[in-house]
Amino acid sequence: MDIAGYERILTKRKAEIEARLTRIDDDLGQQRSADSEERATETENDEVLEEFGQVGETELRAIDAALDRIDGGTYGTCVTCGQPISAARLAAVPHTPFCQECAAGRQGR
């Protein structure tokens, strides 16, 4: 398995999310308009931005955990059943800690 390749992908993705989260923080910190109609739109935008922020932080934590597993030598192994995670699945979701079967089982329950 090309661990170094996955590490590169995860590190790059992490940098992208961090850059995006920084931009969101900047946007949320900007001055509010005096116009009340614009303020309402901005409040809506803030809610969307905060949602992006939460999704981003969840993914960021998952990526950090995956990088820890690379360090620990357990990357690519399902944390639930201990079976290897398929290369196709890692290519689609490089930070996943679960094999296809366990991920499906978690969603079904």
Question: Between residues 21 and 79, which has the closer beta carbon with respect to Zn ion?
Answer: 79
* Dist CA 91 CA 14 (whole Å): 16
Binding mask 78-107 for Zn ion (x = CB under 5 A): x-xx-----------------x--x-----
Query: Who's near 92: CB < 8 A, 6+ residues apart?
Result: none
Look up residue 1 and give its DSSP letter.
Answer: -
* Contact between 19 and Zn ion per CB under 5 A: no
Question: Between residues 14 and 89, which has the closer beta carbon with respect to Zn ion?
Answer: 89
* Dist CA 63 CA 82 (whole Å): 19
Binding site for Zn ion (CB under 5 A): 78, 80-81, 99, 102
